[in-house]
C-alpha cells in the first residue's frame, strides 16, 4: 500500500489528468467514478415521486414520494466517505469510494478506476410474525468496480460490475447474492447541461420474476456550487439494495418515476484565509 501511494504521487507530479469523466459523484441512482475533493462536504437531497402510472388521481406520482438525505466528505482527493438515510424502509446507509487510477491526457492511463463499497441497514421492523430474525438480517452490502473513460470533452462511458449481498431474502428460491453489470454514459449538451443514461442488467435466475432491470435517463444542470439532476427511471429506490435488487417498475407499462438529486458543496478543509 505504501509503495502504491508513493507511485501515484510520482505520477501526479508527471502526468496531466484528462479531467472528470462525469460532472458529479452520482450519475442518476448509482455512483460515478468521481470522488469529492479533499475537505469538501457535499449535502445531497435525493427525491423520487410515485409512478406516473397513477394518473391525475395521484397527480402523476407527486402524491407519493420517497426521500434520501446524505452527506459525503472528501477525506483525500481520491477517497470519499458518505452516510445517508432513506425514507424507503427507514434505511440507513454508509459507503466509501477510492479512486485508485485516473485517466491521463497522454493516454498512458486510458481509464479511471474507482472501488466502491457500501453497507445499508433497514431500521423498519420486519413484517414477519412467524419467527424471530437476528439483527444481522437487516443488513445489505454492495461492492462495485467503477471503470470510466472520457472519450472527449462531450462524451464519457462507465462500466460497473456489481455484487449486492442480502442477509435476508424473500424465499429460498432466490440467492442472497445478486450479480449485476451496469453501464452509464454522459453527453455534454452545453457548458452547464449534460445528458445521462444509466442501466443495470441483472444476471439470470437471481431475483423473483416481479423484478426488472433498472433503466434511468436524466439531465445534469451544473452551477458554481450546485448540481441539479432531473431524471426519470423505473426505479424508486436510491441506494443499490433498492434500484439493483428491487426494481419493480416496467417502462413498457408506463411504470416510471420522476425524481431529482440536488447537491450543495461546502469546502471545510484545504482553504487558506488571509
Whole-number pLDDT of residue 3: 46
How many structural domains does the chain have?
1
pLDDT at site 62: 78
List residues bridging with 114 in a β-sheet: 99, 146
Determine contact, residues 93/240, Cβ cutoff 8 Å.
no
CATH number of the domain within which 207 lies: 2.40.160.40
pLDDT-derived band at 11 (thresholds 50, 70, 90) equals: very low
Residue 274 — very low, low, confident or very high, per pLDDT cuts 50/70/90? very low
Bridge partners, 111 (sequence order): none
| The pLDDT value given to residue 271 | 56
Kindly report, residue by residue over 252-263, the tens digit of the pLDDT: 888 899 999 998
**Is residue 3, in this structure, part of any structural domain at all?**
no
Smallest Cα–Cα separation from 118: which of 148, 146, 144? 144
Query: Which whole number is the average pLDDT over 87-97?
Result: 94
The structure's pTM equals 0.86
Q: Which residues contact 125 (CB under 8 A, 6 or more apart)?
A: none
Give the range of the structural domain holding residue 170, as residue numbers without chain letter: 18-267
Q: Is residue 1 part of a domain?
A: no
Q: Facing residues of 187 across strands?
A: 155, 195
In a domain, 93, yes or no: yes
pLDDT at 128 over 80: no
Amino acid at each position: 500500500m505504501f509503495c502504491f501511494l508513493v507511485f501515484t504521487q510520482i505520477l501526479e507530479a508527471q502526468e496531466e489528468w484528462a479531467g472528470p469523466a462525469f460532472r458529479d459523484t452520482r450519475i442518476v441512482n448509482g455512483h460515478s467514478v468521481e470522488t469529492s475533493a479533499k475537505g469538501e462536504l457535499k449535502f445531497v437531497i435525493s427525491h423520487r415521486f410515485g409512478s406516473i402510472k397513477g394518473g391525475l388521481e395521484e397527480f402523476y406520482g407527486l402524491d407519493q414520494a420517497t426521500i434520501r438525505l446524505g452527506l459525503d466528505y472528501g477525506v483525500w482527493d481520491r477517497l470519499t466517505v458518505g452516510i445517508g438515510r432513506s425514507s424507503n424502509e427507514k434505511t440507513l446507509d454508509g459507503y466509501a469510494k477510492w479512486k485508485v487510477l485516473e485517466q491521463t491526457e497522454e493516454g498512458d492511463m486510458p481509464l479511471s478506476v474507482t472501488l466502491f463499497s457500501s453497507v445499508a441497514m433497514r431500521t423498519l421492523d420486519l413484517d414477519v410474525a412467524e419467527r424471530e430474525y437476528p439483527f444481522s438480517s437487516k443488513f445489505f452490502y454492495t461492492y462495485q468496480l467503477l471503470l470510466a473513460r472520457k472519450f472527449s470533452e462531450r462524451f464519457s462511458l462507465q462500466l460497473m460490475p456489481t455484487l449486492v449481498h442480502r442477509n435476508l431474502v424473500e424465499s429460498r428460491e432466490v440467492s442472497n447474492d445478486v450479480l449485476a453489470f451496469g453501464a452509464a454514459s454522459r453527453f455534454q449538451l452545453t457548458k452547464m447541461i449534460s445528458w445521462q443514461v444509466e442501466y443495470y442488467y441483472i444476471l439470470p435466475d437471481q431475483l423473483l420474476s416481479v423484478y426488472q432491470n433498472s433503466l434511468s435517463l436524466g439531465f445534469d444542470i451544473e452551477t458554481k456550487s450546485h448540481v441539479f439532476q432531473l431524471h426519470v427511471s423505473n426505479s424508486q429506490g436510491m441506494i443499490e439494495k433498492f434500484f439493483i435488487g428491487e426494481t419493480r417498475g416496467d417502462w413498457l407499462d408506463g411504470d416510471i418515476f420522476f425524481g431529482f438529486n440536488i447537491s450543495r458543496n461546502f469546502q471545510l478543509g484545504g482553504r487558506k484565509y488571509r
